[in-house]
A and B are shown apart, each in its own frame.
Chain A
Amino acid sequence: MSKTTPDNGFNVVGTSPLRPDGLDKVTGRAQFADDFHLPNMLHGKILRSPHAHARILSIDTRAAAALPGVRAVVTGADFPAVRHELLNQGAAGVLNIREMSENCMARDKALYDGHAVAAVAADNPHDAELATNLIQVEYELLPPVMNVCAAMADDAPVIHENFHPGAFIAPTEKYLPNASRIQLGNGDPAQGFAEADLVLEREYTSETIHQGYIESHITTVIWDSNDYVTVWTATQGQFALRDHLADIIQVPLSNINVVPLEIGGGFGGKERLYIDPVAALLAKKAQRPVKIAMRRDEVFRATGPSSGTYIKLKFGVKRDGALTAAHLHLAYEAGAYAGGPLFLAIMSATSRYNIPNIHIDGFDVIVNKPTMRPYRAPGAPQALFAVEQMIDELAHELEMDPIEFRMQNLMRSGDRLVPGLPLAPIDTEKMLETVQAHPHYQAPLEGPHRGRGLAYSIWFNIGEISSAHIQVNPDGSVALTTASPDLSGTRISLAMQAAEMLGIDVEQVSATVSDTRSIGFSLPSVGSRTTYSTGAVVCEVAQEILQQMCARAALLWETQADQVSVQNGVFSNQTDPGQTMTFNDLAARMFETGGPISYHKTGHTQSFIPGTAAHLVDVKVDPETGKVDILRYTIFQDVGKAVHPDYVEGQMQGATVQGIGMALNEEYCYDKNGCLQNASLLDYRLPTSLDVPMLETVILESPNPAHPFGVRGCGEISIAPPPAAIANAIYDAVGVRLHSMPMSPHKVCAAIREQHQVNMDAQERPSKPS
C-alpha cells in the first residue's frame, strides 16, 4: 500500500451530512434510558437526607418493607466494605472507591442535603415513593459548612475525621481539616511585583452551578443467578461505570456488562455513577430487574454539580504593558468528598499569557454540598471570570487596547505553561487578529447603557485511550463500532472520518456505540476527546483495513501488496496500471481472498491538546432593574479541523449559552441550614430561547499535528469565556465591575448604586470645608 491519506482536499471531512441517528430522535423512536423496560421490572426510589450535615443514628425500614408491593429495601448496611480504597486511573488521577460508594449511599453520616440514606424497590414508582416516606431515620444534626471560606476558617466544623486529598488528574496535599492544596509557580513573584509599575488586587466569587442536562439519571439493572450484572443506562463512559460499579458491589469486572443507551445530555455530569449500585443491590435482593429514575430535584441535590469558588488575584504590570508578576489564590469547592476540578482550573487560569513570575495557590475544599464533578471545561469559567476581568481592568488602567494588551503578553507554541510543559502547536495570534478584523469588533455601539466585552481562553483537550472496530461487509457497507457514547453527533463525525480514510461515501458507514463486552476499554466521552481521540483511533483502524484490502487485491492480481495503491476508494495495481478495483467490488470478493475483513484497536492519543476561543459580546444594561440583555454575540473558536461544521457550530453555541446562564442566572441557593432552596427548573433558571439572540460563529482551523486531519476537539472551551466577556461588557456599558457570579439583576443594581454614591461623594468633596 503506497498511499492512504487524502490529498490537500477532503471528500467527506468538512461537509455537514444528516446524521442517521437524528431520524429516530425527530420521530420519538430513539431509545433513551427512561424508554427502556424489562419484563417483571421493579421501580426503585431513594430516601435522601433532608439535612446538610448529620450523623445517622438509626434507620428503621420495617414499615416500608411491610407495604404491599414493596419487594426490597437497602441501606448503607447492605453495601459491601470496599476491598481497595484507592483506584489508580492513570492520567485521570486516583479515585477513592470507598468515598464513591458512600456518596451513593450514606453510612454513618449524611454529608449534604440529598445524600441517599435508604432505597426501596416496589411494583410501581408510586408505591416505591410511598414506602420511602415510611422509613424512619434518626439524625443527630451537625453544623453545616457551606462555602470555601467558611470551610477554611480556623474554627470550621470538621466534615471528615480523615480524608484522602483530592487527586483529579494531579494530586493535592492535605492542608487544613477541610482542604487540600496544590502549589505551582515560576520565577520570583516578589521580584516581579517590585518591578511592576501597577499592581491590582481583586477578589471574585461564584456559586455552585449544575450541568442542567434535560434527561435525569436513569438506570435499569439485572443481577442474574450467576452474579452477572447487566446495566442499561445513559452514561458518558460505560467502562468507567463498569469499573466503579464492580468495585462498589464487588463482583468481577467480567461479570458486568454496561449497555449505553441514547443519552439526553451530560456535559461532564454523567461520567460518574450515583444510582447504579443502589439499583444493583435492590435487584440482587429482589431477584428481579430494577429501574431507578431520579426526579429533577434529586438531580440538583444529589448528582455532581460544579464548584462555587473564591478567587483572589494580584497582578503586576509595567507601564509599557508587560505583565511582570501574578499571584492566584484559587479555592474551589470539592463538595462532600475531595477531588474537584482544581487542577484544570489552574491549567486554564493564565495559560495564554506569559507571566515571568507567577505563583498559584490552589485549594480543593470539602463542603456540605454534593460531590463536585466535571462540567464542560471544568473549573475554567470561574477562573476566567476572574483573570479575564483582571486583564481587561489592567488594559483600561494602562489605556491600552484590550486586544493589543493581550497580544503583547501572548503565549505562543513552545512557551512554558505554569506546570512546566510547553504549549503544543496552535496559532494563538491569529485568533486575536481574527477578532480585531471582524465587523463586530469594528461596529459602533448605539444607544445608552450599551457596552462591548471580550474574553480569551485556552483549554486543553484530552486524548488518552480509545477503542474502535471496523467491519467491512461483502455489500460494501462498513460497520464502525466505538466505545464512545454519542452526546451530540459524534457517531456521524466518527463515521465521516472512517469514510474519509477509506475513500467511500459516509452513507456506507454505520456507526454505533458498544457495550463493555463487545469492544476494548475506552475512556469516557469527556474532555472534548471523542471526535479527536476516538477519531484518531478510527483513522488508524481504517488504515489497517485498507492495508488488508490492498493485500486482498494483490492476491487477485497476483502481485505484492506493496504494489497496490488506493486513492478515494479505488485500488490500483502499480505493476499493471490498467488494473483497478473499487472498494465495493473488492469487498464483494472478500470470501475468495481469505474471508472477513475487520480490525479492532485500542489506541492511545496525546493529551493537553490546546484549543482557543475568543468571545465578543454586546450588552444593554437597564440601570433601574439591573437586567442585562445580550444584544450581539460572536464566538471565535479554533477547532483544528471542523469535521462536521454544523455540529461544531452547535457545540460552540450550546457551550456559550451555558456560559451565559452561568454568568447571569444560575446558582444553587441554600438556606442557613444548608438545604437547597431551588432544586427545580423553575427556580434554577436555565437560559430560554428568549434570553439569547442568534449566535454568530467563526471557526478557525489551525491543525493539530496529533490527528491525521488536524482535529483538536471542540466541545468544551466556549463555556469558559462568556462570564468574563459579559462582565467586561457590563463595565463598558455602565462603568461597574462585577466580582460575583451570577451577575444577577440585584447585584448589578447594587454595583451601579454604589458607583453612583462614590461619584456623588467625589462631586461633593471639594465643597466640604477642609
Chain B
Amino acid sequence: MSNKLLVTTTVNGEQREFLCEARQSLLEALRDILYLTGAKEGCNDGNCGACSVIVDGVLTNACCMLAVEVEGSHVETVEGLASGAGLHPLQQAFLEETGLQCGICTPGFLMSAKALLDKIPTPDERQVRHWLAGNLCRCTGYDKLVRSVLKAADAMAARL
C-alpha cells in the first residue's frame, strides 16, 4: 500500500479519488479500480482505440496514459455519454443505423465520434473517416459506423 499513489480527478463530471500503483495505466484505473468497464482493452498499445476516452477535451487512448497523469483532469468515458434526458444522439444513431455488431469497439468509437463532434459539429464523410481512423472495427466494415456519426451530427444540428 505504501507504494500506492492517491489520484484526485473528475470522471464524467463527478470528483473521484483513487489509489493506484505508478505502473498502472488510466485504462486499468478506470476498469479495475473505478469499475468503469465501458472502455475496453483491445491491444494495450494504442493501436485499436477500444479504450478511447476524452481527457481535458483531448481524445486519448487510456491504455497509453498512466493513471497518475490524470491528477486534476477531466476524464470523459462512455458511461458519461447518456444523460438524465436519455441517450446521446451518437448512441441513438449507432442503434438506429446498426453502427455496431459485436459491440466491443463501440465505446471507443462513440468517444472518438464525440471528440470529433465537439470540434467539428457538422463533419463531412472524409472528416468522419479521418477521426475514426484510430479505432479498429472488425465487424462492420465502417460503412454503417460512418453513417451513424453523420446522422448524429445532423440530429444535433437540427436540435440547435
Q: In this assembly, does B138 line the interface, its C-beta being within 8 Å of a C-beta of chain A?
A: yes
- Set B36, B40, B98, B146: member contacting A694, Cβ < 8 A: B146
- Set A18, A19, A29, A656: member contacting B141, Cβ < 8 A: A656
- Map CB proximity to A onto B122-160 as digits: 1 under 8 Å, 0 otherwise: 000100111011111111111111110000000000000
Known: A126-B23, A214-B137, A682-B45. A653 touches B143 (CB 8 A): yes
Q: How large is the interface on B (under 10, 10 to 19, 20 to 34, 35 or more residues)?
A: 35 or more
Q: How far is the CA of A650 from the CA of B130 in the complex (A)?
A: 21
Known: A296-B42, A653-B144, A686-B138. A26 touches B23 (CB 8 A): no
Q: How far is the CA of A215 from the CA of B100 in the complex (A)?
A: 14
Are A28 and B78 touching (Cβ within 8 A)? yes
Are A26 and B94 touching (Cβ within 8 A)? yes
Give how many A residues have a beta carbon under 8 Å from the other chain's beta carbons.
56
Number of A-B contacts (CB under 8 A): 176
Are B100 and A22 touching (Cβ within 8 A)? yes
Are B142 and A214 touching (Cβ within 8 A)? no
Q: How far is the CA of A701 from the CA of B42 in the complex (A)?
A: 37
Q: How far is the CA of A695 from the CA of B142 in the complex (A)?
A: 9
| B residues near A160, Cβ cutoff 8 Å | none
- Set B102, B104, B136: member contacting A686, Cβ < 8 A: B136
| B residues near A670, Cβ cutoff 8 Å | none
Known: A264-B40, A682-B45. A32 touches B104 (CB 8 A): yes
| A residues near B48, Cβ cutoff 8 Å | 214, 296, 681
Q: In this assembly, does A740 line the interface, its C-beta being within 8 Å of a C-beta of chain B?
A: no
For the complex, would chain B's binding face be called helix, strand, loop or mixed by DSSP majority?
A: loop
Are B36 and A214 touching (Cβ within 8 A)? no
| A residues near B130, Cβ cutoff 8 Å | 690
- Distance in angstroms from A264 CB to nearest chain B CB is 3
- Map CB proximity to B onto A644-669 as digits: 1 under 8 Å, 0 otherwise: 00110110011111100000000000
| A residues near B107, Cβ cutoff 8 Å | 26, 28
Q: How far is the CA of A262 from the CA of B104 in the complex (A)?
A: 9
Are A695 and B143 touching (Cβ within 8 A)? yes
Q: In this assembly, does A34 line the interface, its C-beta being within 8 Å of a C-beta of chain B?
A: yes
Are A264 and B45 touching (Cβ within 8 A)? no
Are B38 and A29 touching (Cβ within 8 A)? yes
Are A216 and B133 touching (Cβ within 8 A)? no
- Set A16, A30, A658, A681: member contacting B98, Cβ < 8 A: A16
Top 8 A-B pairs ranked by shortest CB distance?
Answer: A28-B38, A264-B104, A25-B103, A488-B101, A657-B141, A653-B141, A681-B47, A28-B78
Interchain residue pairs with CB less than 8 A apart (5): A26-B91, A28-B107, A650-B140, A688-B133, A689-B146
Q: CB within 8 Å of A: which residues of B?
A: 21, 23, 31, 36-45, 47-48, 50, 77-79, 81-82, 87, 91, 94-98, 100-107, 110, 125, 128-130, 132-147
Q: CB within 8 Å of B: which residues of A?
A: 16, 18-19, 21-23, 25-32, 34-35, 126, 211-216, 262-267, 293, 295-296, 487-489, 646-647, 649-650, 653-658, 680-682, 686-690, 692, 694-695
